[in-house]
Amino acid sequence: MHRKRLVVLASGSGTNLQALLDAPDLGGDIVAVLSDRIGARALDRARGRGIAAEAVELGTDRTAWESALCGRVTAHAPDMVILAGFMRVLSGDFVQRWPVLNVHPSLLPAFPGAHAVDEALDWGVKVAGVTVHYVDELVDHGPIIAQEAVTVRDDDTSATLHARMQQVEHRLLPQVVRALCEGRVQRNGRHVRIQQ
Ligand code: GAR
């Protein structure tokens, strides 16, 4: 079977990218890492592994930026695009070209957006969590592939809660990517099933 070509988009530190790079049996190859930030540590992690890494920075023209990013992704001919801490919203036109996945630090549909961990703490939830989902044209809205709960502790800060969520992310995201690469994910509208 053809090994899947994976392009990862990341804006920041790239610990989720690292989890994908370190996964023993991903079933696919990360062929490029692209970022909206030149200084993103994720780019260094990719270069450290000899993987093509490039920033496409957002200037004043959002349409031009997305079109440039889309061109760079297309150049790597991916089977799948993975948003691993990519903090920009992509248009419907972009996300319909390939299956696009995202990892988000909440139990969606609670707390979509860029401040999910703080908002969950501010709300006083007792159970937070992590979602891996397909990306559609709306923010943090596409069909859910996998979710896992994380219990909130009375003394949690945003940093301590996020750190426990990231431990879950680093396990859940590679599991989902592997299932997709192995053709074990069935999608029927919003309903997604993973065969074990
Ligand atoms: C991750 O925790 C991810 O859930 C979050 O950004 C972090 C990136 O960490 N994503 C979002 O909040 C998306 N709305 P990383 O760069 O170390 O992988």
For 53, the token pair is 């890494």
Q: Which of 2, 104, 133, 141 is catalytic?
A: 104
Q: Are strands 191-194 and 185-188 parallel, antiparallel or unpaired?
A: antiparallel
Region 60-81: what's the mean pLDDT? 97
From the CB of residue 51, how many other CB atoms can be counted at a distance below 10 Å? 17
84 lines ligand 1 (CB under 6 A): yes
pLDDT at 151: 98
Atom 6, ligand 1: residue with shortest CA distance: 85
Distance between Cα 1 and ligand 1 center (Å): 31
Answer yes or no: is pLDDT of 190 > 80: yes
pLDDT digits over 95-115, tens only? 999 999 999 999 999 999 999
pLDDT digits (tens, 9 = 90+) for 15-25: 999 999 999 98
Average pLDDT over the chain reads 97
Query: What is residue 2's predicted lDDT score, i.e. its pLDDT?
Result: 84
- Both tokens assigned to 135: 């990306």
- pLDDT at residue 1 above 70? no
pLDDT at 3 over 70: yes
* Residue that has been written with the tokens 């790239």 in this structure: 14
Q: Which of 158, 155, 175 is nearest to 106 (CA)?
A: 158
**Cβ–Cβ under 8 Å, residues 6 and 82:** yes
Q: Which two tokens stand for residue 21?
A: 């790079």
Alpha carbon 168 to chain centroid, angstroms: 13
Task: Assess whether the C-beta atom of 99 lies below 6 angstroms from ligand 1.
Answer: no
> Is there an atom of ligand 1 within 6 Å of 10 CB?
yes
Peptide bond into 109 cis (omega under 30): yes
Q: Which amino acid is at 51?
A: I
